[in-house]
Amino acid sequence: MKPSVLIIGCGDLGTTLGRELAAEGHRVIGVRRHADALADTGIEPLALDLATLDGKGAEALPEADYVIYTVSADRFEESAYQSAYPDGLKRVLGVLEQHATPPRRLFFVSSTSVYGQQEGEVINEQSPASAQSFSGLLMREAEQALLDHAIPGTVVRFSGIYGPGRDRLIRQVAEGRVAAVTPEIYTNRIHRDDCTGILYHLIQRQERGDGVETLYLGSDSEPATQHDVMSWMAQKLEVEATETMQSPLRRRASKRCDNTRIVDSGYEFRYPTFREGYAQVLEAGGFLPRPTSAQS
């Protein structure tokens, strides 16, 4: 039998991963506050608020071979991050450690926001994660709680996730707004489907006994400036930039992510750069201009 997977925080990323796993014959249980959204996905729904796990026994969560913790804070506030990340993960670990058969590995979906580099530095898994924002500090606290626990754990720090339904940048460009050339603000991206692909790949490595590291940086293979991404998109949308935006990213966010470790593990990106990834989103979302009668 294929290993079972418990996905805690089964939103967009978790549901996409769960569909893939279920289609491959895995038993998948998805935990979210409102589980009705998991109907017709192949994922077994479990409605649960993690805040209610305090003091609960092993039966509060079902046993599974693998656990994916991909909870999202419901707002960008310190209290929401505290609840979603360190507090929520610690509650889950407290239940899982009571299981007769604990999971083989727990994967925690983290973020490159834990890095504080701001001058376009190249970063990897060995780089100091020294962000001083509440979001970065609380994410690091959650990461460390997992890595200090007896249950084997792996942290995957994803960079800016985009994909179907995540189209804010596309709409800005469609309005003729493009980031300035200077200062150079590097951004890092990963398509949602590569996030799910990486997580599935790591489960498969563990199952084969190939070894899984405790930390991976999940980002595509080409860091790019905000200006270059938006200019490329403007060409695809056939719009002329009429407004130069002040960069929506603060200077402290400028860094270049090196994905060598995940690539060396054998993962092949479905969308190696923003070009392939956004081409898929533009096509699937109906954003591309329709050909004129003369072109058709």
Is 228 contained in some domain? no
pLDDT of residue 251: 45
The whole-angstrom separation of Cα 280 and Cα 287 is: 10
- Residue 214 falls within a domain, yes or no? yes
pLDDT score for 6: 98
Length of the chain (residues): 296
pLDDT by residue for the chain (296 residues), tens only, comes to: 899 999 999 999 999 999 999 999 999 999 999 999 999 999 999 999 999 998 889 999 999 999 999 999 999 999 999 999 999 999 999 999 999 999 999 999 999 999 999 889 999 999 999 999 999 999 999 999 999 999 999 999 999 999 998 989 999 999 999 988 888 899 999 999 999 999 999 999 999 999 999 999 999 999 999 999 999 999 999 998 876 766 544 444 789 999 999 999 999 999 999 999 999 999 998 898 877 655 54
Asked whether residue 31 is domain-assigned, the answer is yes
Structural domain includes residue 13: yes
> For residue 174, is it within any domain?
no
Asked whether residue 185 is domain-assigned, the answer is no
pLDDT (0 to 100) of residue 246: 60
Write out the residue range of the structural domain in which residue 35 sits. 5-164+190-219+257-270
Q: Kindly write down the DSSP assignment for every residue of 39-105, as one continuous string.
A: TTTTPEEEE--GGGGTT--GGGS---SEEEE----SSSSHHHHHIIIIIHHHHHHHHHTTSSS--SE
Residue 15's nearest CA partner among 2, 3, 31 is 31
Residue 249 pLDDT: 44
**Residue 227 belongs to a domain:** no
Is residue 238 included in any domain, yes or no? no
Contact between residue 277 and residue 283 where contact means Cβ atoms under 8 Å apart: no
In this prediction, residue 241 carries a pLDDT of 81
